[in-house]
Amino acid sequence: MKKPGEEKLSALFQPGKVGNYKTKNRVKYGACCVSNYNTRDGFITERELARDKVIAGTGCGIITNQGAYSDPLGEGKAYFRQIALFDDKFLPQFEKIAGYIHDNGGVAIQQILHAGRYGGIDLGYCIQPSVVPQTLTHFRPPREITKEQIKETIKQHAEAAKRAVIAGFDGTEITSFMGYLLANFNSKFTNRRTDEYGGSPENRGRFMRELIYAIKEAQGDDHPLVVRLNGAELMDKWGGNTEDECFALMQMAGDAGVDMISVTVGWQEAPVSSIGRDVPPGYWNRLASRAKKLLPDVPIAFGVRLPDPVMANENIANGEFDFWEVCRPMLAEPELLHKAAEDRLDEAKRCLGCMNCLSRLFRDLPYLCTNNPALGHEVEPEYHITPAVVQKKIMIVGAGPAGLECAIAARQRGHEVTVFDKNDDIGGALQGYASRDMANQDDLQAQLSYYKTMVTKLGIELKLNTEVNPKFMRSILHQYDVTVIAAGARVDLKAIPAPEKEGLLVSAQDVAMGKVKVGERVVVLGGGKIGLTLAEFLKAKGTDVTVVEKDKRIAGDVIPSWKWRHTSWVEELKIKTYTGSIVTKIGSGGVTVVNDQGEESFIETDTVIAASPRKGNQELFQEFEFMVDELHGIGDALVPRGMAQAIHDGYRLGVRI
């Protein structure tokens, strides 16, 4: 009997097919990105295997294991702890992963990843079709691959594919996503060869076709081969392929006999966004639709910036593509598909598109997720929700992300939880900033909706419009076993010159929450994420905005893979910035600014918004020390940081109280 969500999302949950294999639904778990949970020499760790069990249990009809490099030298290796498949010695752990997938009714696909231009991480160079200088300086200097090396590389891919099948995988996948070797040959940006592997799109696609033929011969026609190809490179700035050229190459892959095409978007070097939350969900669907029309008989998988199973169901029903390819949304919410099937999507966390996972990955760290603190810690029992040994009455001071995450985890463990907040709604500072975000506001609003749903469904008691202070605490002595301070942070106005006129200086949080109005000319003190969010919002509404930042660069506290987005918005909106500068005087006509060279400037303004420096609301710690059995602190109340740290702090405390 079908579950209620399966009835509603009937296209998503209908059976599918890849090659000769039937799939239980139309969802493909994408290889997504390398986890960096493994050893430096390519072996799979227990940490990875624990994570793979979770992936296998997501309910997807097709599950693609993360990319393995196939050459013993490591020219194809992109990440310090990437898994390898160049030797039979690696097979036992691949057998385990294939077994996990089959035990859960999934079709198992192993991705083979040669990073090309982005590879050679343990070497002093990378290989690519032509010597094209790196636009991102942290990648290795390129060497041109010879014809002999091309043949050897194709052979290594084929041998790795054969090993994957021996290990129990049903098929394999090769990828051009993000600008790896396959993309390097396909693109006229990195392929400037004059032999039979370069020049026309037909010649540039020769490597791809030979790769397809060799892999299919090695693994046998009974085992499907998937290829991930760009529908758009987004590399126009560097002279990359046009979309028409991308689709000509896609046609070649179809003609070569691939069993599925996964449509992807963008390179690492692309100067525009493809998967961040500044891209509206569904924005790239047109590329999948074009691929489906071009190759009606080849299954098309797609999921770029498509976090919503409801939208994916509609797209499949409309014939835009055949399989919803998803990874990052299931990093954030491993139970996403199960909750969709049970019609409980209101209980599912959304991928925020914040790029935290990629920010860590690109700095050679194990990937983590802002919204899923257990990601990467599945092997550790202390990160799991387990019944509390002793049930306690817990009071949490602050209904922001830290406090709510703690409340939800603690309540799921059986504790009795009450959350206090001085505001009239939950969400803390997130409530204000979510509605003033230049990116897709629905992502952050969905976070607030999730919290409201879980508070209601779990029976967490809320006491809003309640100021928790020593006097209040004395009135409820001995009613609670645990107090958690999650009261967030505030701007330290005492660290800013006192204004000469009352009302001229206001706090960023009061502006974000709509408690104060600003004038036509605004100076924002602090060029971090809070100051920039307000500056961008106000400028887009027509306000004249200037940002003053004491450091030499703005966006200092922004997630690394998102810094460029703020700096580009500042440039696009023509927001004036004074970096390496501090305000020395706030007068009725404006502010006096001094830079690190001692030069003084005067900026006319009607309102000064203080977004920095931030200070944790720590006063309650000492005052409550002898009023409760257990006293804890989490989030910005300890040290002002960001949403990821607040969520992780709250969850980690909630699972261990």
The residue ranges of every structural domain in the chain are 4-361, 386-488+617-654, 491-615
Residue 465 falls in which region: left (phi positive, over 0), alpha (psi -120 to 50) or beta: left
Task: Give the tokens for residue 323.
Answer: 């399989």
Q: What is the 3-state secondary structure (H, E, C) of 446-511?
A: HHHHHHHHHHHHHCCEEECCCCCCHHHHHHCCCCCCEEEECCCEEECHHHCCCCCCCCCEEEHHHH
Mean of pLDDT values over 494-501: 92
4-361 and 491-615 share one fold: no
Q: Helix count (H) and strand count (E) of the chain?
A: 22, 27
Task: Give the tokens for residue 465.
Answer: 């419009």
Task: Give the tokens for residue 208.
Answer: 């791809």
Element (H, E) at 50: helix 46-56
Assess contact for 219 and 212: CB atoms under 8 A. Answer: no
Assess contact for 577 and 547: CB atoms under 8 A. Answer: yes
At 554, the amino acid letter reads I
Percentage of residues of the chain with pLDDT beyond 70: 100
- pLDDT tens figures, 108-130: 999 999 999 999 999 999 999 99
> Pairing state of beta strands 600-604 and 16-18?
unpaired
Residue with tokens 């006509």: 589
Q: Where are the alpha helices (DSSP H) in 10-90?
A: 46-56
- pLDDT tens figures, 585-640: 999 899 999 999 999 999 999 999 999 999 999 999 999 999 999 999 999 999 99
> Pairing state of beta strands 21-23 and 544-549?
unpaired
The three-class DSSP label of residue 581 is strand
- Domain 4-361 coded CATH 3.20.20.210: no
Task: Give the tokens for residue 641.
Answer: 């940081």
- pLDDT tens figures, 367-421: 999 999 999 999 999 999 999 999 999 999 999 999 999 999 999 999 999 999 9
Instruction: Check the CA dihedral 586-589-591-594 and report its sign.
Output: negative
Q: What is the pLDDT of residue 358?
A: 84
Longest dimension (CA), the chain: 84
Task: Give the tokens for residue 167.
Answer: 């290990």
- pLDDT tens figures, 7-62: 999 999 999 999 999 999 999 999 977 899 999 999 999 999 999 999 999 999 99
Q: Which residues contact 526 (CB under 8 A, 6 or more apart)?
A: 508, 547, 548, 549, 610, 611, 612, 613
CA 149 to chain CA centroid, Å, is 35
- pLDDT tens figures, 210-241: 999 999 999 999 999 999 999 999 999 999 99
Assess contact for 56 and 168: CB atoms under 8 A. Answer: no
Q: pTM of the entire structure?
A: 0.95
- Domain 386-488+617-654 coded CATH 3.40.50.720: yes
Q: What is the pLDDT of residue 607?
A: 96
Q: What is the pLDDT of residue 543?
A: 97
According to DSSP, the residues that pair with 264 across neighbouring strands are 230
Residue 1 scores a pLDDT above 90? no
Q: Would you place residue 334 in the very low, low, confident or very high pLDDT band (cuts 50, 70, 90)?
A: very high
Q: Would you place residue 464 in the very low, low, confident or very high pLDDT band (cuts 50, 70, 90)?
A: very high
The three-class DSSP label of residue 379 is coil
- d(Cα 291, Cα 243) in Å, to the nearest integer? 11
- pLDDT tens figures, 52-95: 999 999 999 999 999 999 999 999 999 999 999 999 999 999 99
Q: What is the pLDDT of residue 384?
A: 96
CA atoms in the 13 A half-sphere facing the CB of 576: 12
- d(Cα 533, Cα 344) in Å, to the nearest integer? 32
CATH no. of 491-615: 3.50.50.60
